[in-house]
Amino acid sequence: MGPGPSDVSPRVLAALARPTVGHLDPAFQALMEEIKAALALVMKAPGYACLPLPAPGTAGMEAAMMNLLEPGDTAVIAVNGQFGERMADMAARAGASVERFEQAWGTPVDPARLEPMLKERRPKLVALVHAETSTGVLTDPKPICDLARAAGALTVVDCVTSLGGVDVDAAGWGADVVYSGTQKCLSAPPGLAPFAMSPRALEAVSARREKVRNWLLDMSLIMAYWGGQGGRTYHHTAPINALYGLHEALVALLEEGLDVAHARHRRMHEALVAGVEAAGLKLLVAPEHRLPELNTVLVPDGVDEAKVRAHMLARYDLEIGAGLGPLKGRIWRIGLMGASATPWHVRLCLTALCDALAAQNYPDASRQALAAAEAKLSG
Ligand SMILES: *Cc1c(COP(=O)(O)O)cnc(C)c1O
């Protein structure tokens, strides 16, 4: 129950164990078509080029930056946590001149503050993180995509932690690139990056002055394999079994229904928060900006945060995450992602956390915490 990987369900594990076929086998090509169609549904990206890149979520970020940026371009990157930092680094490596739009860790990106920078700089690209896993903050991409488009920019939205947990609406936002990862709310093993590119973004790739400086993730090459046009020629050997797992995870999500899955994440979040607060703990993020699937709990004074995590792992086999960067030592990061967003997980986590705190002479509040969570779970 950290920031990913989340639990992988038995049906996805079983799918991963199916016999490996060739990456040009007609049966496998049919599966690829189903994955593309399912990705367009879950990312709400009709008319976009949708495919899973053969590497973890970071590959989605890398593909976005490397395909859309060239030396001499300007990119505005919103930085309100660790993953915004990573995007800014990548955009600079793509040769772009990077303007960082800084926002305090623990708060969302504020479009009103961003607008003057976009008007002045008129960048080629604007990038932001929808669900900042380092802080537990959700930013609404819609107003930022609107402002970016008005300034003539393409938009990149990191949806690694949001997809499957909260609504991702690529077309509704007007985002040009949306990417995700498999090991967060999709609950498949790490190793693939669902990726969607708008027609506008594809045009920008075709209009490049120079070749993409990354062969594996060059969209014009990868599309010849995944796009179906051009006879599906060999580009790389697709990670066949990982794709079986992603396919099954997408089927499971669509069977549950996107809205139902999002409501489940929200209910589990509300139960966990009620329990944590009943135990006298506080959250980092203001209620209206909280991410249901990643809860950042402040470490109380006098408590050794690493000992709490070690106790939970040793006694309960349960892993939660630590803080990163400026939040190191100050917060715990508790994931309620995909198959790990169940009442059982909420109860286990509160039990383990309260026990670990009591072991450090923090008042034992497990009964109050569980009762508060139960009231939300049965409500
Ligand atoms: C986890 C994460 C990534 C990176 O994904 P990997 O699969 O670890 O490469 C990128 N952005 C966000 C917001 C994430 O939470």
Give the CATH number for residue 365.
Answer: 3.90.1150.10
Residue 371 backbone phi and psi in degrees, to 5 = -65, -40
Quote the ligand 1 centre to 62 CA distance (angstroms): 11
Residues 222 and 283 occupy one common structural domain: no
Task: Identify the sign of the CA torsion 112, 118, 119, 121.
Answer: positive
Q: Report yes or no on 3 lying in a domain.
A: no
Instruction: Count other Cβ atoms within 10 Å, centred on residue 313.
Output: 14
Quote the ligand 1 centre to 138 CA distance (angstroms): 15
Last residue of a domain, one of 255, 289, 308: 255
How far apart are the C-alpha atoms of 192 and 180, rounded to whole Å?
8
Which of 161, 166, 296 to mutate to test ligand 1, by most ligand atoms within 8 A of the CB atom? 161
How far apart are the C-alpha atoms of 365 and 362, rounded to whole Å?
9
Judge if the beta carbon of residue 181 lies within 6 A of ligand 1: yes
Q: What is the CATH number of the domain that holds 144?
A: 3.40.640.10
Task: Identify the sign of the CA torsion 199, 223, 83, 133.
Answer: positive
Q: Is 102 helix (H, G, I), strand (E, B) or coil?
A: strand
Judge if the beta carbon of residue 158 lies within 6 A of ligand 1: yes
Total tally of structural domains belonging to the chain: 2
Residues 234 and 298 occupy one common structural domain: no
**pTM for this entry:** 0.98
Residues 217 and 264 occupy one common structural domain: no
Judge if the beta carbon of residue 179 lies within 6 A of ligand 1: no
Quote the ligand 1 centre to 6 CA distance (angstroms): 13
How far apart are the C-alpha atoms of 204 and 227, rounded to whole Å?
17
The 3 state secondary structure assigned to 336-372 is: CCHHHCCHHHHHHHHHHHHHHHHCCCCCCCHHHHHHH
Ligand 1 atom closest to Cα of 81?
13
Quote the ligand 1 centre to 57 CA distance (angstroms): 5
Ligand 1 atom closest to Cα of 193?
7
Give the pairing of strands 49-53 and 154-158: unpaired
What pLDDT score was predicted for residue 234?
A: 87
Residues 286 and 222 occupy one common structural domain: no
What pLDDT score was predicted for residue 228?
A: 66
Domain of residue 95: give its range: 10-255
How far apart are the C-alpha atoms of 293 and 368, rounded to whole Å?
23
pLDDT along the chain (379 residues), means of 10: 97 98 91 96 97 98 98 98 98 98 97 97 98 98 98 98 98 98 98 98 96 95 80 88 98 98 98 98 98 98 97 98 97 98 98 98 96 95
